[in-house]
Amino acid sequence: MSAEQQSIGPVPHRVEAPQGFLRRYLFSTDHKVIGIQYFFLALTAVTVGIVLSLLMRFHLAWPNVHLPFINGGLMRPEQYLALVTMHGTIMIFFVLTTAPQGGFGNYFLPIQIGAADMAFPRLNMLSFWLTFLAFVCMLTAFVVPGGAPISGWTAYPPLSALGEVTGPGEGMGQTMWIVSIGIFCLASLLGSINFITTTIDMRAPGMTLMRLPLTVWAWFVTAILSLLSFGVLLAAVVLLLLDRSAGTSFFLPAGLSVNGELQMRAGGWPLLWQHLFWFFGHPEVYIAILPGMGVASHVLSNFSRKPIFGYRAMAVSLCAIGFLGFLVWGHHMFVSGMNPYSGLAFSVLTLSIAVPSAVKTFNWLGTIWGGKLQFETPMLFAIGFVSFFVTGGLSGIFLAQPALDTVLHATYYVVAHFHLVMGVAAIFGIFAATYYWFPKMFGRRMSEPLGKLHFWLTFAGAYCIFMPMHFIGAAGAVRRYADDTGASYLTAFQPVHLFMTIAALVTGAAQLIFFYNFFRSLKNGARADANPWRATTLEWTTASPPPLDNFGGIFPSVYRGPYEYSVPGAAEDFIPQNLSPEQSMQGNEGARSGR
């Protein structure tokens, strides 16, 4: 009898959540609700971002087709640039920074370390609502007089610092952009304080650093990058705002003439912005991609039924990538006329990031090598993540060399590179996380056939969009041009543009399958039990969805590492982290059922 009652794993019971819609769903301090809020914010943002990119692709393929919603029918070059700017900004800040860290990190970091919530729940709520405010601010840029800014997501001065004289959208629109990014910086800083403190101080007994799931390592390192880089961006946008509104000249040199108007500024230096911006901007790339690496590691191990290959090397390489990420900002500035010796130093440091990246890639391959592979949708997206990370990363080795970058910098080659390595790869990480954790977050399962269809269409589609882009880039197709039909050597690329646009439209349409699957499964998906993937980490030892305090009044203790799959001699092919050595030989029904 007592053996039966010694059910392994917690016996959660619901702790009452605050009643009332406002406190429960809107101004909740529960990290799970906040995680879902971040996720839906990112879902909204990604929809806007995709629509903007499809408009760009449409215009590139058919520049002379009238669009009904544009005044006058034809898209003007500055409107195209506004699309470029808003697509980049929204995708990078409100999707790639918001979903993997704010969304999944918020939801699963506390559960995976066995905590009841974040260290500072109210601060957490404030972070989300500041992010929301920043997003609203960013969207307002579309509707203010002059429209959205046209200076790109990097907002280089002097054009971003002078106001309306530099073009429509550079008035109120650019100001809204700067204010929005400033608020976003504050939100990210507050969020990172929470993530770091929670990881340091809130771990369950037995959850040593070397027992943290690699997802937690990734979120932890990402939070450190956020903490150290967003403060720098905040300083930069404060200076830029002063240049625009208070007449200072931090970034504006003397003798500047714009549109035939001599600007009465003196003493500033535009490159100062580039240094500050990219000191943030390069770590930002890793803020977007590191959580995806964590999820890929987690999912590959789970669906290979094998321990992760080289756990310690995986954790150390995450830290190494994060550290090196702060030393390479100059590789974005090779064409700024920098000292060749500086260029060489930045180049060598950039190439050295290939070492920890290769460690990760080979460890992923080592993890699935010889595993009992289960090709469920999360696994497919994790493999897709590795695929895009490798393809996109390889072109980075070319771009890291100043001599090659000088030629390729202003071409589609760069667009292809960063879309594959940080855009598509990171999105695949988000998709892997969504399909993997959906059952835990909503207590229901997404459709596997639709998930697989979504995967194959997106996987093939993304390669069809971005592989040809390398070729026309290497052949000299200039990025940021609104219309390639004007010059004869550019017209030659038009059939490729047409192909990429069709691929983009198909890939965009494939996302409707995801949306359908997601929202249909929320209501009608099959009920998920506590541990549908037969996984080891703590989030799978509690109910789906977890109770308010995550473990229902129970304090988990941790006895083992996060990836104990197929352990010889164990009763089952996975051993949950909270299973003590005595119980691991008796089977893990309790942990799996979560009741």
Which 4-63 residues touch another protein, going by CB under 8 A?
5-11
60-to-54, 277, 423, 477, 531 alpha-carbon distances in Å: 10, 29, 20, 12, 47
Q: How far apart are CA 138 and CA 173, in angstroms?
A: 9
Residue type for 445, please? R
Residue with tokens 């830290």: 319
Max CA distance (Å), the chain: 90
210 HSE (CA, 13 A, CB side): 5
Q: How far is the CB of 116 from another protein (least distance, A)?
A: 5
Q: How far apart are CA 490 and CA 484, in angstroms?
A: 5
- Please pick, from the candidates 184, 250, 442, 455, the single residue that binds another protein as defined by CB under 8 A: 250
Q: How far is the CB of 229 from another protein (least distance, A)?
A: 7
Q: How far apart are CA 156 and CA 153, in angstroms?
A: 9
Q: How far is the CB of 184 from another protein (least distance, A)?
A: 14
Q: How far is the CB of 224 from another protein (least distance, A)?
A: 8
Instruction: Using the minimum distance from each CB to another protein, give the nearer residue, 115 or 183.
Output: 115
Instruction: Using the minimum distance from each CB to another protein, give the nearer residue, 227 or 474.
Output: 227
Q: How far is the CB of 235 from another protein (least distance, A)?
A: 4
Q: How far is the CB of 327 from another protein (least distance, A)?
A: 14
Q: How far is the CB of 554 from another protein (least distance, A)?
A: 5
Instruction: Using the minimum distance from each CB to another protein, give the nearer residue, 234 or 368.
Output: 234
Q: How far apart are CA 140 and CA 173, in angstroms?
A: 8
Residues touching another protein, count (CB under 8 A):
78
Instruction: Using the minimum distance from each CB to another protein, give the nearer residue, 215 or 511.
Output: 215
568-to-117, 297, 573 alpha-carbon distances in Å: 35, 22, 8
Instruction: Using the minimum distance from each CB to another protein, give the nearer residue, 435 or 540.
Output: 540
In the region spanning residues 179 to 238, those forming contacts with another protein, defined by CB under 8 A, are 189, 192-194, 196-198, 200-212, 227-232, 234-236, 238
Q: How far apart are CA 119 and CA 541, in angstroms?
A: 21
Burial class for 201, CB neighbours closer than 10 Å (0-12, 13-18, 19+)? exposed
Which stretch in 272-280, 343-351, 421-429, 451-459 sits in contact with another protein by CB under 8 A? 272-280
* 263 three-class SS: strand
Q: How far is the CB of 575 from another protein (least distance, A)?
A: 11
In the region spanning residues 503 to 562, those forming contacts with another protein, defined by CB under 8 A, are 549, 551, 554-559
- Please pick, from the candidates 93, 579, 592, 594, the single residue that binds another protein as defined by CB under 8 A: 579
Q: How far is the CB of 324 from another protein (least distance, A)?
A: 17
Instruction: Using the minimum distance from each CB to another protein, give the nearer residue, 76 or 275.
Output: 275
Q: What is the CA radius of gyration of the chain?
A: 25
Which stretch in 19-27, 143-151, 263-271, 297-305 sits in contact with another protein by CB under 8 A? 263-271
Q: Which residues contact 320 (CB under 8 A, 6 or more apart)?
A: 355, 356
Q: What is the DSSP-derived secondary structure letter of residue 401?
A: S
In the region spanning residues 80 to 139, those forming contacts with another protein, defined by CB under 8 A, are 115-117, 119-120
Q: How far is the CB of 383 from another protein (least distance, A)?
A: 31
Q: How far is the CB of 256 from another protein (least distance, A)?
A: 11
Instruction: Using the minimum distance from each CB to another protein, give the nearer residue, 239 or 421.
Output: 239
Regarding 583 and contact with another protein (CB under 8 A), the answer is: yes
Instruction: Using the minimum distance from each CB to another protein, give the nearer residue, 118 or 472.
Output: 118
Instruction: Using the minimum distance from each CB to another protein, give the nearer residue, 72 or 201.
Output: 201
- Please pick, from the candidates 246, 257, 523, 569, the single residue that binds another protein as defined by CB under 8 A: 246
Q: How far apart are CA 211 and CA 559, in angstroms?
A: 9
* 358 three-class SS: helix
Residue 410 phi, psi (nearest 5): -95, 15
Spatial contact of 316 and 366, defined as CB atoms under 8 Å apart: no
**Length of the chain counted residue by residue:** 595
Q: How far is the CB of 32 from another protein (least distance, A)?
A: 14
Instruction: Using the minimum distance from each CB to another protein, give the nearer residue, 253 or 545.
Output: 253
Spatial contact of 437 and 108, defined as CB atoms under 8 Å apart: yes
Instruction: Using the minimum distance from each CB to another protein, give the nearer residue, 212 or 472.
Output: 212
Instruction: Using the minimum distance from each CB to another protein, give the nearer residue, 125 or 421.
Output: 125
Instruction: Using the minimum distance from each CB to another protein, give the nearer residue, 195 or 459.
Output: 195
Residue type for 409, please? H
In the region spanning residues 407 to 436, those forming contacts with another protein, defined by CB under 8 A, are none
Spatial contact of 114 and 133, defined as CB atoms under 8 Å apart: no
Q: How far is the CB of 595 from another protein (least distance, A)?
A: 11
460-to-250, 285, 504 alpha-carbon distances in Å: 46, 24, 11
Among residues 357, 359, 362, the alpha carbon closest in space to that of 395 is found at: 357
- Please pick, from the candidates 35, 100, 213, 268, the single residue that binds another protein as defined by CB under 8 A: 268
Q: How far is the CB of 330 from another protein (least distance, A)?
A: 13
Q: How far is the CB of 255 from another protein (least distance, A)?
A: 10
In order, the DSSP letters of 423-465 are IIHHHHHHHHHHHHHHHHHHSB---HHHHHHHHHHHHHHHHHH
Which stretch in 16-24, 98-106, 243-251, 340-348 sits in contact with another protein by CB under 8 A? 243-251
One character per residue 132-171, x = contact with another protein (rule: CB under 8 A): ----------------------------------------
Q: What is the DSSP-derived secondary structure letter of residue 326?
A: T
The vertex-458 CA angle with 456 and 461, nearest 5°, equals 100
Which stretch in 32-40, 101-109, 415-423, 577-585 sits in contact with another protein by CB under 8 A? 577-585
One character per residue 63-82, x = contact with another protein (rule: CB under 8 A): --------------------
Distance between start and end Cα atoms, the chain: 17
Query: 545 preceded by cis ω (within 30°)?
Result: yes
- Please pick, from the candidates 28, 249, 301, 536, the single residue that binds another protein as defined by CB under 8 A: 249
